[in-house]
Amino acid sequence: MTNLDRTMASKEIRTSPEGAKDISPGRKPWVVEAFAPASPEGAKDISPGRKPWVVETVAPASPEGAKDISPGRKPWVPASPEGAKDISPGRKPWVPASPEGAKEFLRAPRVLSPLRGSNGLLPSWIVLLLFLTFSSLAFAQPTGPITYKLTVTPAVPPTPALQYSLLPEMTDMSSGNALTKYYKAFSLDWWGFYHRQPVKWHEDFDKAQEAPLDQMPAEFNFVKGWRMLREVDEGARRDHCDWELIPVMKRDGIGTLLPDVQGMRNIARALALRARYELAEGDIEKAVYTLQTGFAMAKHIGEGPSLIHMLVGIAISQVMGQQLDELIRHPKCPNLYWSLSRLPRPFADIRRPIQAEYMMLSGLVPRFDELRKGPLPLDEAQEIMDLFLKNMQQLGLANIDRVTITGQALATYGKAKAALIAGGRKQAVVEQMPVPQVVLLHASEEFLRLRDDVYKWVALPFYDGFEGLKRAEAAYKSLREQGGMLTVFIEMLPTVQKVYLANVRADRRFAMMRAVEALRLHAAMHDGKFPKSLSEIKAVPVPLDPATGKAFEYTLQGDKASLYGPPPPGEQVSASTAMLYEVVLRR
């Protein structure tokens, strides 16, 4: 493994290839972690020749509800995310099912399991599932909407009005692929000390991103001059970002590995902290420059060819959005209405990632064209079915075997045959097809139909497409209960509804920020007073809520103005569906 591979893997936990001894009977299994210094607590080097190794248990003495999915010398893991417990104090491979603990998942070391490939990396579709699961846990607030509170100063836009841009201007950009610079930022030379820090250090690092500006800890101010971030600054000012993944996706389909994307989140955390130190020093110019870097990197990642790229890009845009809120709070901050107006809408375009997912899913069934041409000999049809089964197992569906598939095939054969005939094929032709061909052909065509029924809605604005998307996803999920097709195909359809919602949540936040700036401008022009209604604001247009296509709900109580974005129809109020900005004027 090269240094770059090690950094990309984010301290991946591996079992020792040399056969590490079990030095703690009764608390099996143990795993070893490569490229980490020996533990000061006294962990032994149990893998001679591959120093330094450290030993670490990731299993309790008894399963306690955990399911052993990796017989032999591999770690125990909980049976489900909902029941996941912190089973590795100090180094969490899984996290508690709480909003606070859920956030740890994306920074956690990796644990080998049957869901991973031989290199220990997850296929893209499983990464997407885990990202959506733990993102929804992190946003889970049953008591109300996600709320942002700002104390602001009335202000007018700067002169000239476009003095501050939140994305790099073309005059500051150079030709080239941003990814080469981002990859340089992954160098172990930059990150070695970072990954060697204890968990408490990382927790304090995260807390510093929310610390009051007059209480910023000195411990982390190294980020202000961290040379790693210079590479990121330069990458953000390149004119394009090519992930060079399209040929790989055509070849590997939904088994495509994306080992590098999640690591970009650590870079975003460092950028956010740098911006905060710059604001603490009152340097608005430098803070805006850092925000440009973060938002440009978020755009570059969000435009990558998968839904995972898009989700990580959105997440990074919100990490930087937190510091943009802090900039708006700053007494010296000019009005950023026109700066926010120049951000792209939507910030992340879902159509490109959907096209990539479409491309990857198109190769789900091997030799699909042969299945469609006409009746095949039984041995050829069974060969295609076996190849399909092998592909599914390589993707991590370890519970799918020939017995399971055969049982589902026999149960669905009658419905599949009737559907093929109803779809226009001659009955005599379908009767000649062997069972594997009928079942696989029907499931494939149903899958393509269901996929398109889901994907077609995301081309519309959220307020036009969300209800249709919910109905389409409900339709294909109901097939699982009806037993109308091979269930493995249903597993392969991503939950686009959550991606769609995450995307509009980011756009809604930017729109609310722009509405806050409209309020600040109005107050600057009207003796430091907020309007009684949004319709009183005449200097600039007040943006509509991108989730509803309507005006934000606005209330004024004394000196506090509130902007509220309600949940979509049929959705409960939560941090993932509703948003509230509470704004108070500084006196």
Q: What is the pLDDT of residue 338?
A: 97
What is the rounded distance in angstroms from the CA atom of residue 364 to the CA atom of residue 489?
Answer: 9
Residue 468 lies in a domain: yes
Residue 577 lies in a domain: no
| 421: CB partners within 8 A, 6+ apart | 427, 430
Residue 57 lies in a domain: no
What is the rounded distance in angstroms from the CA atom of residue 274 to the CA atom of residue 541?
Answer: 33
Q: What is the pLDDT of residue 399?
A: 61
CB 500 within 8 A of CB 462: yes
Residue 488 lies in a domain: yes
The DSSP symbol for 497 reads: H
Q: What is the pLDDT of residue 397?
A: 59
CA angle centred on 121, ends 120 and 126, rounded to 5°? 125
Residue 454 lies in a domain: yes
Residue 442 lies in a domain: yes
| Domain membership of residue 402 as a residue range | 363-494
Q: What is the pLDDT of residue 344?
A: 94
Q: What is the pLDDT of residue 212?
A: 94
- Which stretch of DSSP H or E encloses residue 30? strand 30-33
Residue 439 lies in a domain: yes
- Which stretch of DSSP H or E encloses residue 21? none
What is the rounded distance in angstroms from the CA atom of residue 545 to the CA atom of residue 324?
Answer: 19
Q: What is the pLDDT of residue 48?
A: 36
Q: What is the pLDDT of residue 188?
A: 82
Residue 568 lies in a domain: no
Counted domains in the chain? 1
- Which stretch of DSSP H or E encloses residue 487? helix 487-492
One digit per residue, the tens of pLDDT, for the chain of length 587 reads 333 333 333 333 333 333 333 333 343 333 333 333 333 343 333 333 333 333 333 333 333 333 333 333 333 333 333 333 333 333 333 333 333 333 333 333 322 222 333 344 444 444 444 444 444 434 444 568 999 999 999 999 999 999 999 999 999 999 999 999 999 998 888 888 888 999 999 999 999 999 999 999 999 999 999 999 999 999 999 999 998 888 888 887 777 777 778 788 899 999 999 999 999 999 999 999 999 999 999 999 999 888 889 999 999 999 999 999 999 999 999 999 999 999 999 999 888 888 888 777 666 788 888 888 899 999 999 998 888 888 777 766 556 677 877 888 888 888 889 999 999 999 999 999 999 899 889 888 888 888 889 889 998 999 999 999 999 988 877 776 666 566 677 777 767 888 899 999 999 999 999 999 999 999 999 999 999 999 999 999 999 999 999 999 999 998 899 999 999 988 899 998 999 999 999 97
Provide the angle, in degrees to the nearest 10, between the axes of the packed helices 227-236 and 284-302: 60
**Cis omega (within 30 of 0) on the bond before 531?**
no
The DSSP symbol for 123 reads: B
Provide the angle, in degrees to the nearest 10, between the axes of the packed helices 351-362 and 307-329: 160
Q: What is the pLDDT of residue 483?
A: 61
Q: What is the pLDDT of residue 410?
A: 82
